[in-house]
Amino acid sequence: MKTVSLTIDGKKIIARAGEKMLWAALQNDIYIPNLCAIRDRPEPHASCRLCFVEIEGVKEPVTACTTEVAEGMVVNTRGEKSLALARAGFELLMASHALDCAHCPANGECELQKIARHLKASLKTKRLRLLLRELPIDDSNPILTTLRYFRDEYEEHIELGKCVLCGRCVWVCRQDIKSGVFGFAHRGFERVMTTFADEPIGADRCLDCSRCIEVCPTGALAFKDEKKT
């Protein structure tokens, strides 16, 4: 296997030639925020815009999930420009994410909380107006709680969108499990993760393998018995 050596945040590392920088960094315990990256996916989505890094000699920050490592590269994951871009992306994401950590099954393990800590950014956006979507609940599967988490408060059901559209569940369901229960529908702000023909996730196609729950970075997919009210 051909390898290259490079430096990330002052740490010298060896990586497989052709490896994307994100995976080389993570393998060497250097955290770079990421949501949409899927290691086995040949063409990265690069849609979350959180994984910006700076490379010596390159004018603008690049996304680590799409950039291959190269011999002698010097990478800074903490540069001012890359952090500013990542913070802006994160703020936009959080502007359509209903915060309810105390009631969320992912509280404490949520990737959004980890990213906020890393970027020293608030989970609650102050500059942007919150734009929350009202999404239906699907509680039909025996083990999955729903595509969208909801809470029961003041005797009203309030539906909160926890999905960040990273596509991890879509990928594992299609590529690993060959079931293809999940997919995306619509574009722009209306984009949602959904099922084929909007059939309930409890329908026959789901194999109850729970791989989608394992890869979900937030509390959008969770085991029923983890649902907190």
Q: Which residues lie near ligand FES (CB under 6 A)?
A: 34-37, 46-51, 63, 65
- DSSP one-letter string for 79-108: -HHHHHHHHHHHHHHHTTS---GGG-TTTT
With respect to ligand FES, which residue has the nearer C-beta, 103 or 118?
118
With respect to ligand FES, which residue has the nearer C-beta, 47 or 140?
47
Nearest approach in angstroms of CB 152 to ligand FES is: 33
Structure tokens at 146: 């729903």
Burial 89-112 (b: 16+ CB within 10 A, else e): bbbebbebbbbbeebbbbeeebbb
**Residue 38 near residue 168, CB atoms below 8 Å:** yes
Nearest approach in angstroms of CB 6 to ligand FES is: 18
Nearest approach in angstroms of CB 18 to ligand FES is: 17
Nearest to 24 by CA among 3, 52, 45: 3
Nearest approach in angstroms of CB 225 to ligand FES is: 31
Using alpha carbons, list the distances in angstroms from residue 82 to 2, 107, 156, 220, 225: 29, 27, 42, 28, 39
Nearest approach in angstroms of CB 102 to ligand FES is: 27
With respect to ligand FES, which residue has the nearer C-beta, 37 or 116?
37
Structure tokens at 35: 């949501």
With respect to ligand FES, which residue has the nearer C-beta, 62 or 192?
62
With CB atoms as reference, the residue minimizing the distance to ligand FES is 65
Nearest approach in angstroms of CB 118 to ligand FES is: 13
CA distance 5 to 199: 49
With respect to ligand FES, which residue has the nearer C-beta, 84 or 207?
84
With respect to ligand FES, which residue has the nearer C-beta, 47 or 96?
47
CA distance 217 to 95: 17
